Structure 1
Amino acid sequence: MGAAVTVVDAHHHVWDLSVRDQDWITGPELRPLRRDFTVADLAPEARSAGVERTVLVQTVTVAEETPEFLALARAHELIAGVVGWTDLTRPDVADELARLRELPGGPYLKGIRHQVQGEPDPEWLLRADVRRGLTAVADAGLVYDLVVLPHQLPACVKAAADHPGLTFVLDHLGKPPIASGEREPWETGVRSLAALPNTVCKLSGMVTEADPASWRVDDLRPYADVVLDAFGPDRLMFGSDWPVCTLAATYGQVLDAAEELTGELSDAERTWLFAGTAAQVYGL
């Protein structure tokens, strides 16, 4: 990365298993994640990779996590923003968002996310109570992160079309099946989402959708090229997905792969992708 570009990591997590369990960390494949990952663990890796600001993203659908993350952002200069969780379906969701904004560290709340990928209803985002919640997120001046699987992308398209005043951020490219090499229905869904002006995408989470043990940058390239073409660099943002990425790569290797995948871009385009888009979308 050229010295002129200050990197923003738009997507990482932390957790402390003594505070609460991460109930999604199950099975032998995820066992390396079953330990604490803290800001103190992340900071030296991020700084050595040239990352000066980050966005901390929710991990579990537990209301207490978001205030904890806001306090972490207040305490650590590295964390410039938080994407938290609240129950979008609660009738008083607007009041709850306002309450979060008033907490210590409240100004660091930049967005909301729900584990839509785990919802059995592929049209969960289109439910009346969820739509009301999305409206409250927009009214609060926040953005909405989408963590979804390819078959849920059509509902994302409809939700984004129905809420033109809300910016939707697609995490991890919409989780394409990189390991199998398949492109559809993921590519059609991603291009339909990118056609809407209120959508952006994170260049993140790719190494763990590939074969974690044997991935190469060339395995990632067809999928990165689709989002580069569909969204453009000024609507893409780099994210490490640390520490989940450590199942397949080090922090530095993830950034190196992103740099290689975007090597054909101009300096101005790379500045957008590695810093500008995140700063603008999340108001860092």
Structure 2
Amino acid sequence: MRKKLALALTGVATLFALTACGGGNSAAPSATATLDPANPTIVKVGASPIPHAQILEFIDKNLAAKNGIDLEITEIDDYQTPNIALADGSLDANYFQTEAYLADQMKTKGYKFEHGPGIHLEPLTVFSKKFKDVASVTEGAVVVLNNDPVNQLRGLRVLESAGLLTGLVDGDSALTVQDDAAKNPKKLKFQEVNSEQVPKFYQEDPTVGMAIVNGNYIVQAKLNKDEVLAQESAENNPNANFLTWRAGESTPAIAKLDELLRSDEVREYIKTTWTEGDVIPAF
């Protein structure tokens, strides 16, 4: 079952009660009990609408029942609510984030989570309506990009790989780079917004010269591929998305879902659904 709604920002008190912890476990939980297809176990999963909820819906329609699980899928448009809802028990698992993002969330907010291996990759992409190629980018061009620190640096590195920035280091941000003439020779001006808002600013604000867009929002906003200036390389990319659950809650149902997310059927579904490289299997 797929719910087309966003969860409320609940459980804030729970957040502050949690203690800080280290990085997540990348090993899937072990199934210690037999799941019964005649009496499937419900797993409540929060996910970004595209592609995460679509992939989960494919599993729910084609693989879940015969493997003894029943998915309750809640679409969540932002990148904060899924971890809040997982921490307060509203969800059993979520599927939307990368290793670097999760590590930052656990460090700064005290979450105690674990995760499975990578399922898919969504390369960050630079779009422009004003410039035909990187060489034509003018001095002072406005760049709209993600405001969360992890994905922002990832986006800045795409600009660096395209030759528009240089000498970036870990911890750099739009704030540290904008007025640094050595790192930002074209004096690009950065506009930071929530990740889900980047396509809207790109499509509606005529002052925007370039936008760095997360792969799932590229698909959701149906952006024009003729406007691509640069894209994050998929080769040896550590930013695969995975299933996340609360530490120590290694239930057989979550183990089975994690297994199905990395099945041959899901790999083929990803490859045949997103044929232009917006979503790439990571297994």
Classify the TM-score, shorter chain: under 0.3
Per the normalisation by structure 1, the TM-score is 0.26
Q: Which has the larger radius of gyration?
A: 2
Per the normalisation by structure 2, the TM-score is 0.26
> Which structure ranks higher in relative contact order (CA pairs < 8 Å, sequence separation ≥ 6)?
2
Structure with bigger strand share is 2
Structure with bigger helix share is 1
